[in-house]
A and B are shown apart, each in its own frame.
Chain A
Amino acid sequence: DTGVSQDPRHKITKRGQNVTFRCDPISEHNRLYWYRQTLGQGPEFLTYFQNEAQLEKSRLLSDRFSAERPKGSFSTLEIQRTEQGDSAMYLCASSWQGSGELFFGEGSRLTVL
């Protein structure tokens, strides 16, 4: 069990560029979540997958954001035309449907200049 893995850990980009983050969940977990955390706040829910199906998207996830989980394994979160307000820590978590206990990765910190 290697835990939840996220890549890259830190991304610095210029406004208007596209960025993509990857999350590899714990292998036997069928649920995968993306959260966003800004300084001094708790994480906010963005979206979640059960297997390969994206079952809910928060209204925080504008049309510039897209998440995928092909084949129900790893997931990617893409942000198009980044804005300075997108600067945050993007956290991925996974869980087994029956347990309800979420395990988080180390996060991917995005800085938009």
Chain B
Amino acid sequence: KQEVTQIPAALSVPEGENLVLNCSFTDSAIYNLQWFRQDPGKGLTSLLLIQSSQREQTSGRLNASLDKSSGRSTLYIAASQPGDSATYLCALLNDYKLSFGAGTTVTVRA
């Protein structure tokens, strides 16, 4: 059974600081890894998808890396803004099923 851990559970930073969010997993036999953003009371918005054969993926200020050998992924958000305040979830796809971490709640202070 895939176990996904996200540390820290919460993070508060001043505007402009770079964010580093960590995700670790126990089963490296994954199809892909997705990072999601969730605003309070809302659904999940897909941010980045990294296929199993890839090492990283970038979109604008976001960069995600994947190291299957160590069971880790990291999401970097450059030059954070108050609008980046949300919960960030990583999820791993084994066969057809996504397994989620509990998320990291980020607050960016203006």
Contact = CB atoms under 8 A, between A and B. Distances in A.
State the majority secondary structure of interface residues on A: strand
Contacts of A31: 96
A102 B98 contact: yes
Q: How large is the interface on B (under 10, 10 to 19, 20 to 34, 35 or more residues)?
A: 20 to 34
Interface string B72-110: 000000000000000001010100111111110000000
Nearest to A41: B102
Q: How large is the interface on A (under 10, 10 to 19, 20 to 34, 35 or more residues)?
A: 20 to 34
Contacts of B101: 42
A104 B44 contact: yes
Which of A6, A42, A56, A106 has the most chain B CB atoms inside 10 A of its CB? A42
A22 interface: no
Interface of B: 4, 31-32, 34, 36, 41-46, 49, 51, 89, 91, 93, 96-103
Given A43-B89, A48-B97, A100-B32, 6 more contacts: A42-B101, A44-B100, A45-B97, A56-B97, A93-B44, A102-B46
